[in-house]
Amino acid sequence: MTGSSRGHDGRRIAFLGTGLMGAPMARRLLGAGFAVTVWNRDPGKVKALAADGAVLAETPADAVSGADVVITMLTNAEAVKDVLFDRGAAGAMAAGAIVIDMSSIAPHFARDHSARLAERGIAHVDAPVSGGVVGAEAGTLAIMAGGDEAVIEGLRDVFVPMGRVTRVGPSGSGQLAKLANQQIVAVTIGAVAEAMMLITAGGGSPAAFRDAIRGGFAESRILELHGKRMVERQFTPGGSSSNQLKDLNAAMETAASLSLTLPLTAAVHAEFSEFVASGNGEKDHSGLLLHLEEKNGRPGGKP
């Protein structure tokens, strides 16, 4: 089917990319009463959303036809460019439509896409998210937005079912904030993993250690969620190491363009590069623990 019926506020939404994160986000919008048309490169990943009331589209251009708001949640900048410009989605949008790109891509790509869409009379907001699948399902994502202040404010009812939106600055600023977020996530995962190794090597219990420091100055969502994964040695993603590396690559490139030296980010970037190169890209990013154990000759976490 092409296009969608009008939602609870009269606006029609197209959602492009219904993978691990996109599907629960689209489901939140449907649950809030929006009419949503969905498309995914793998058609099998959209079928389940039909039961929630989504209209299924065969192509990106079909999905966005007549849409007022187009949300993209895709793997990388190349995928966003392909869907918007190579597969004809931008050409099928009406002037006055708004694109919200919730993918995680480098800031300069976001600014380029914004400029290309502006030539067609289409507004663009870069609005990547943090909070993982758990946050997507619960509607508690942290949404970092870059773009025109009035446009972002006018989209608040669209963002509310998915999480909490904060405008960080002009075009590209949302992506910059996501890179900074991913720096913190990666460095903290590395710190927690090294601490777990130190405790284990000295004969302590990683589980008891994690319990002991909860609520202290080292408390964080990383310690809570990823520390638990490390204790239980459950590394099915969540957030994949390949995606973590993609974001760290972009962070390092952006830092270089700004003449910044980021030694902690550089160190964890090197470790994730080795981990992914060793065939572990589809392990959860908390699985960096496995790589650090291997480097120390302690595979499996043995004391």
Residues recognised as catalytic: 178
Measured between alpha carbons, how far is residue 126 from residues 82, 89, 143, 176, 201 in Å? Answer: 17, 17, 10, 10, 44
Residue 286, φ and ψ in degrees, nearest 5: -65, -15
Please give the structure tokens belonging to residue 46: 């959209």
Q: How far is CA 301 from CA 59, 233, 280, 290, in A?
A: 47, 9, 17, 8
Is 240:279 a contact under the CB 8 Å cutoff? Answer: no
What sections of 93-131 are H helices per DSSP?
107-118
Each residue of 221-237: b (16+ CB within 10 Å) or e? ebbeebbebbbeeebeb
Identify residue 174 by its one-letter amino acid code.
G
Residue 89 structure tokens: 């989605």
* Alpha carbon 100 to its chain's center: 13
3-state secondary structure of 54: coil
8 Å CB contact between 106 and 78: no
Coil/strand/helix, residue 202 = coil
Pairing of strands 129-130, 141-146: antiparallel
In 3D, which of 53, 43, 55 has the Cα closest to residue 19?
43
Q: At what angle do helices 173-201 and 288-295 cross, to 10 degrees?
A: 50
| Residue 37 DSSP label | E
